Structures are given as C-alpha cells and as structure tokens.
A and B are shown apart, each in its own frame.
Chain A
Amino acid sequence: MTDPLLSVRDLHVTFPHRQGQRFPWSPPGRLHAVNGVSFDLMPGKVLGVVGESGCGKSTLVRAIAGLGPRDNGIVALNGEQIDYRRRAEMQRLRRVMQMIFQDPMASLNPRMTIREIVAEPLIYFRPEFSAKERRQKVIEMLDRVGIPQRNMNRFPHEFSGGQCQRIGIARALIARPQILLCDEPVSALDVSIQAQVINLLKDLQAEMGLTLIFVAHDLGVVRHISDDILVMYMGGMMEMAPARDLVHDPRHPYTQALLSAVPVPDPRVRTQPQLLTGDLPSPMNLPKGCLFQSRCPKRFADCARIRPPLVARDGRQVACLLEGATEPA
C-alpha cells in the first residue's frame, strides 16, 4: 500500500460575516463554509468534488492551496503537515501544487503575452534554466496543450475561452507539479470545447502521473475524469466513493437526489427527479444534527440530534445514520 500524497483531516473553514450582527460593535458571526472534510489522495489518482453552489467545494480547494483561510484541520503533503504561515514552505508547496481556475480569461494577466504567462512559473521555480531553455520548454508545453507556436506572442484577449483554459493548464503544468487543483475548469466552456479540455486534462494526467482534485458541479464531467468522487453539501462530506459505484449505487439520500436531477440527454429516458423540498439551513447557524436533514426525504427523529459520522464500508464512506442500519420501508 502506498502512502497518500495528500491527506486532509477534519478541515474547517469559516468566514466572519456581518449578517445577524446586532450592533456594529458586536462581534461578527461566522459563516461555516467547510465543515470537517477528511480524505486521503493517493498519487496519480483523480478525486472529483461535486456539490451545488455554496456547498464549499471551491473554498475547500482554495484552503488546500493556501489561497484562503483554514480554521482547523490538518493538510499534509507526503505525510508532513503543511504550515501555511511559513513563506518558504508555501513556495515549496506551490512547486508541488498548482491550480487552474473557472474563468479562463480572468485568470490570465491581460497585459502579458502568452509566452510570458507560461514562462513565469519557470522563472520562479526553475531559475537554473537559461532564457533559451525556458523558451524551448514554453514552446513544448504550449504545443502539448494545442496552442501553436506562432501565437505565442499574442495576448489573452486574442484567444477563445477554450484556448485560454489550455493556456492556464500550460502555465500550471510547466514547472511539473505533482498535484493539480482544478476549480470548475470547464464550467465556462461549450460542450464541444469542454470535451476537448477534459480529454486534454486526462491525457496530461496519465502522461505526467499527476494527482488531481477536480471540482465541478456537473456530475457527468466529474464522472468522466475521476477515480473517486466526494459529494459535499453545506460544507460537509455526504459521501465519498469510487466514481463508478457512486453513480450506479448512490447510498446517501443527497447523492441519490442529486443524481436523479441530472438531465439525461435521451428523450426515451423518463427521469423522475426527486424534487427536494424544504429550505437550506443557514451557514451562519448550522443545525445540530445532519446537515441535510431539512431537505432529506428519509429523515427521522435521530437526524436532528446526531451529526452522522462518516462510516467506511465496502471501500466507500457515507455520512448517514441510515447507513449500516436497515432502511425503514
């Protein structure tokens, strides 16, 4: 058994929030964005993170990348806890861990040429390269992601969204990181372009032996790229399972509802989406029991009292009180 490359233990993220404050001088409330996420990521694997907007999936990867705050919890790389406060350690971390973002245009500096953008990580992380070597590396990388060399001196606005995302990928991968965090990398792209970028990411992942955390709201996309899928709701983990098992046999009521709502591109399939009723709990004031209790079609009395722990069974983890117990008919 190999050791995990990245381990996350009981990660919590909260933000100060002024809503519900009685007086301007009273202490601000806390918005609970991520509530106790734990997972191990094996080298070379792809972990997909899904959930609806506001479930904390982006906050989670930003916290892991050190781009956002963390309240509690441990993030360890190769078994060593990352100290996000130390600058030297952060530099080392960024060599190992890179990120691509949702809005491909906004994540590229509009005043830099593509060549400068892609070369920048090399200048920073691989200062031993000469300018000539750097240029060669940039050409190779751009070629690999499908941007022709002749376009190298152009600016981001001259490229389409799909091309900008390719450039973002080239920039992230040029210094050969081990982990790539992808925050909704294809949500802004059209279906035909989206498929190109997913295939590119998959190929690069296999070629370079990358470990990926892939965040998206589109289950179809996540299904296609991931080995394991983590389902989040209100910042908590609902279920984590191998991708295939999760889509064919979802255990958690929320996963079941989420999967049933995915529209199937086949008019012969009559989907029966489970329409969730009930309101989302406030992230300022989380319920005591299960995070999903207010909308869960299978809730019972205990759900309001006990926050279900993640139960590992058959290679999957489910946070539901029904798991393990026999389901009430």
Chain B
Amino acid sequence: MTLLSVKNLKIRFRSGDGKIHAVNDVSFDMAQGQKLALVGESGSGKSQIALAIMGLLARNAEVEGEILYDGRNLLDLSRSELNRLRAKEIALIFQDPMSSLNPYMTIERQLGEVVELHEGASRSAARKRALDVMDAVKIPDAKNRLKAYPHEFSGGMRQRIVIAMALICKPRLILADEPTTALDVTVQAQIMALLDDIQRDMGTAVLLITHDLGVVAGFCEDTMVLYGGRMMEAAPTLSLFDAPGHPYTRGLLRAVPRITEDDAELSAIPGSPPNQTGAPTACPFAPRCVDAIAECHRILPTMQDGRACIRPVEELT
C-alpha cells in the first residue's frame, strides 16, 4: 500500500538573483515499511524534499505539486493539521545532532515533551515512555541519564537521542536527513545497525537522505539519484549498483574511493555543480556529462524506465 506519494514536486526559492529552482518535477512513491534512499550531492535538493514533506520549508520557498500522505495532500494542510501529523505519523531526523537538541532542556523533558504534546500523556507516563525509547536506542544506563543535558553526551549518543525522539510516538514514516554524516565510521556503523533493527521491528518506512553511496548500499532496497534538483535515475539498489543506467550514476559510482581497490586513478566527474537560477531547459548534468550530445543541451529529459537520459543505455561509456 502506498504510504507516501510525491507527485511532480517543484520547489523554488525567491532570491536576489532570481528564482533558485531547487527541486524540479520530482515524483516517487513509498510503500509502508519501505526503505528508500535519496542520493545526491550538495545542492541536489534532497534535503528540501524532506523539509517540504514536513512542512518546514523556508519562507521564501514556493512549492508546486502534491505530497500525498495516506491520500491527503500535505501541502494543503494548515499548520495545526500538520502538527497533528508530525511526530505521530512522520518524523524527521536531522543531520547535526547537537543543533537539533535544545541545550537548555534535559533529555527526559525533550523526549517527554513530544508525547505530552502529541498524545496528551501525563508527566509520569511521558517519563516512562522516554525511558523505554532510550532503552530501544540502546543508551546505556538510561535511567540515570534521563536528567542529563545534551552536552553531556557524545556525538553518537546524541544522534541516538534524536532517533529516540523521532521514534517515541511510533511514526509510520521516518525521514532521515544525513543521519550519520557528522559521525565517525565506527559510530556510523552502530547508528545504521540501530536504524535497521528499529525499521524491522516497527515496520516503519524510512526515507534515507544521504550523499554516501556506501551507506545506501548497506541499507536501502530502492534508490533514487538526484542531480541539480532533478531525478536522474530510480531503481532497486541492487540493479542501480550493478548496472547504473545514467551517466551521472555511473560517474558517481566510479568517483567513490574504495579501500579494497588498488588502481591509482580515481575517475572524477569533470566540471562544477550546476547553477540553479532560472527554470531548467536542458539536462542539468549535460555540461559535465561524458556522453552528452548536442541534443542533451537542448532537451529536458523525462524519467522513462527509471532513468532520465535521452541516450540509450547501450551507448553510454
């Protein structure tokens, strides 16, 4: 069953230099319990999609399209209606665990507040729930750490608390925006294992937003690659890695340094990230694409068979 359906989402920001087209015509569906990855580099619009789903876009944003959650368009909802969905239905995990926690509040209050607000729980019930969820995210000695402040925890522990906060009302959809980018690899491995366990136990759908293809490969069944705010390719993770069908995906996979490979030269993607002022009229990747032909600079490719490229797969280098 479709839980979330994003249709032709367009996000633009008004700015002094004209309109920034951050997200252009992005569509995808998520089923219940599905793990989908949005992969892209900075400026690809991946985080803005998550913010749009949560109704947290900046004020200068203009949104078009539909975000259907359980058949309701989230973009039409009022603030109070959205507040009823937040945390209980959809929760967001931010990248930076320090700045998404309030430094003046104890962990117990921050976690408890969510249940009190969204479920009208009493203080003592909220404390109990906070304790349970802290155990669920494996914070050692949770009982004695309820009264601790965020600064008393390490980065990995803080991210666990942020995940606990997202889980406390048992949402059906978790949006994880670069949840491990700020963390060390050993801690990252712990956090991803934790998310995986929770996802399996609770059947929560997870939209993982990341730039790290390694994290995606180990976690998500399906992957969508974004570039310059447009969809480049969407496929089951296995086939995307086995047979990437878009020049950008191919370039990206080749540019990742792997520890096991001994060949000296990394194949970089030439050029710089795209300028997104003004409406796109051609493939945003064309200026950096090794396979680009004259057409590519004129035609805006649409998604067909999971890829947005006018060149047939067989002809790509």
A and B are interacting partners = yes
A interface residues with partner B (beta carbon < 8 Å): 52-53, 160, 162-163, 190-196, 198-199, 202, 217-221, 223-224, 244, 247-248, 257-269, 271, 273, 275-276, 280
Residue of A190, A218, A261 near B211 (CB, 8 A) is A190
The answer to whether B287 has its CB under 8 Å from any CB of chain A is no
Which of B104-112, B127-135, B262-270, B302-310 is the interface stretch? B262-270
List of A residues within 8 angstroms of B260 by Cβ = 247-248, 264
CB of B217 within 8 A of CB of A219, answer no
Residue of A195, A220, A269, A273 near B269 (CB, 8 A) is A195
CB of B214 within 8 A of CB of A265, answer yes
List of B residues within 8 angstroms of A280 by Cβ = 154
Q: Of residues 211 to 244 in B, which have CB atoms within 8 Å of A's CB atoms?
A: 211-218, 237-238, 241-242
A-B contact pairs, 23 of them (CB 8 A): A53-B184, A191-B213, A191-B255, A191-B256, A194-B255, A195-B257, A198-B268, A199-B266, A219-B185, A220-B258, A224-B264, A247-B259, A259-B259, A263-B185, A263-B215, A264-B258, A264-B260, A265-B256, A266-B217, A267-B217, A275-B186, A275-B193, A276-B190
Residue of B41, B190, B217 near A191 (CB, 8 A) is B41
Please indicate which of the listed interface residues B155, B184, B189, B192 has the most CB atoms of chain A within 10 Å of its own CB: B189
A195-B257, A264-B258, A265-B214 known; A202 vs B264 contact (CB < 8 Å) = yes
CB of A265 within 8 A of CB of B258, answer yes
In this complex, how many residues of chain B approach chain A with their Cβ under 8 Å: the count is: 45
List of A residues within 8 angstroms of B280 by Cβ = none
CB of B217 within 8 A of CB of A265, answer yes
Question: For chain A, what secondary structure do more than half of its interface residues adopt (helix, strand, loop), or is it mixed?
Answer: helix
Residue of B214, B251, B262 near A192 (CB, 8 A) is B251
CB of B257 within 8 A of CB of A160, answer no
CB of A275 within 8 A of CB of B42, answer no
Chain B residue nearest to A162 (CB atoms) is B272
List of A residues within 8 angstroms of B251 by Cβ = 192
Known: A162-B272, A221-B257. 9 other contacts (CB 8 A): A191-B41, A196-B268, A198-B268, A199-B266, A202-B265, A217-B184, A263-B217, A265-B217, A266-B241
A190-B211, A263-B188, A269-B217 known; A198 vs B266 contact (CB < 8 Å) = yes
The answer to whether B65 has its CB under 8 Å from any CB of chain A is no
C-alpha spacing A244/B265, complex, angstroms: 15
The answer to whether B292 has its CB under 8 Å from any CB of chain A is no
C-alpha spacing A52/B252, complex, angstroms: 25
The answer to whether B33 has its CB under 8 Å from any CB of chain A is no
> Taking the nearest CB of chain B, how far is it from the CB of A216, in angstroms?
10
Please indicate which of the listed interface residues A195, A223, A269, A273 has the most CB atoms of chain B within 10 Å of its own CB: A195
